[in-house]
Structure 1
Amino acid sequence: MTATRFTGRTALVTGAGSGIGRAVARALAAEGARVVVAGRRREPLDETVALIEKQGGRALAVTADVSRAADAQALVRAAVDFPGPRLRSGAGPLIGSLDVAVNNAGVFRGGQALADLPEDDWHTQLATNVTGVHLALQAQIRQMRTQASGGAIVNVSSNLGLHATSPGAAAYAATKAAVTALSRGAALDHIGDGVRINVVSPGATATSMSLRPGETEQDRTERAKATLPLGRISATEEIAAAVLFLASDDAASLVGTDLVVDSGGSL
């Protein structure tokens, strides 16, 4: 039997043009949500929408740069205005809520020791990974706290940061540790408003971001066998499953949780 935990709800997913974000958007749509998919480039977003529609779901692509407050606010408006099913009276569509938000957009600039990291790479990671989550949270919470049903937010962080370290990733890890700290603080601030905020921290996952310079997917598979307790990296669908759990009523008592999904890599 197909799960329908999000039927009738509207969801927003940033960084939804590929990888984890696309998997999350597809999973939400498969469970009944109307999904606004966001990212900087239109073409991959349209591909995500096409995949969702092919599986019978509903999605809307909106280009946005989450490091800009105006764009974060526009994404919330797009979700609120996403038409729902028609009323039996024929009075029009049900609109007006943002029920689930998944802040997945992130960038990695690294591969070299911290002292050799270009300043622009530091600012790029800080703008998207930290400021982007901060601005998204503000816009989303301001909408959700006006709703009788509140809402659920899941921020996608990383096992690199609070849970693990890796050579050449100090700045990235710092931004992801900040995501977890920001999320936990916001969770405490706004649970009284009916807004539940949690975090998923993936480890190496089957996306291009987990490939080291010059490494093939087969090389990555062999590396995972030798270095990860589970012996393999995570599938994007496995990360999506964790996100959906935290966003669902199944996790109604989880507030400020940081769920690490990393094949045991941070043990």
Structure 2
Amino acid sequence: MNLWTKNGASLTEAYASDGTTIPLELVTRALVKHLPSEPCRIADVGGGFGHQAIKLARLGHHVTVLDLDQTMLSMAEHRLSQETPAVRSRVILLLGDGRDATTALGEAAFDVACCHSVILYEEDPAPLLRNLVRLVRQGGLVSVLSVNPEATAMRTGLQGRWRDTVASLQSGENEDSRCLLTYAHRRQVVEDLLEESGAEISEWRGVGVFTDHLTEKLMVEDPAEVYLAEWLAGERDPYRGVARCFHLLAERTAPSLSLPTGST
């Protein structure tokens, strides 16, 4: 079951306006850290609104966005139309399901495959993760971002919403009454699935340690200090363990013929 398909209309507005957030900057910085200096071929699976794709295209990379939501892709197309011709020429938008990404995009056709804030809507993330690994060449990079279910009480607690906080702590599940239902895939489970699919974890980071709970625009004299604080906290324990999201970066180590296929 895919919860985005079920609740897409409710989620669209929130995601559409989320293009300049601290998490996006942190994830992009982590990606750039692992990318070669020359332009890369990047698949952005589930990247419908184009926020990540446009940031990477501005850096000179060629990005193909695959998403199952036409409304999101239409918004991405509008956003892309406001970019320079050079950036527009580096982004391709395609309608399709990430669980069958290799059929749409080809196996080993990319240097990087991104899948950010997507697996939380998948009841079984294994087919999607297998396809991500199969999209990239041997030695290519797989980037997965998802909500950290081991810290579900942090946001509500820091916001002073104690009823939801107690409920989350008692149940071990996300009991945030302001959030739609998502699936809780723990970081270690996702790591294991990636490794079983032929990708070895290179790094994992926490995203949203200090600022995720804020409900109003952050007003600071030097935004760079905020980014640096989040960046440093996201790379070390115990801080990354209580971040809102985890960010996994993995290298495809298996050659294509030895990769498991499974169901897609």
TM-score, length-scaled by structure 1: 0.48
Q: Whose strand proportion is higher, 1 or 2?
A: 2
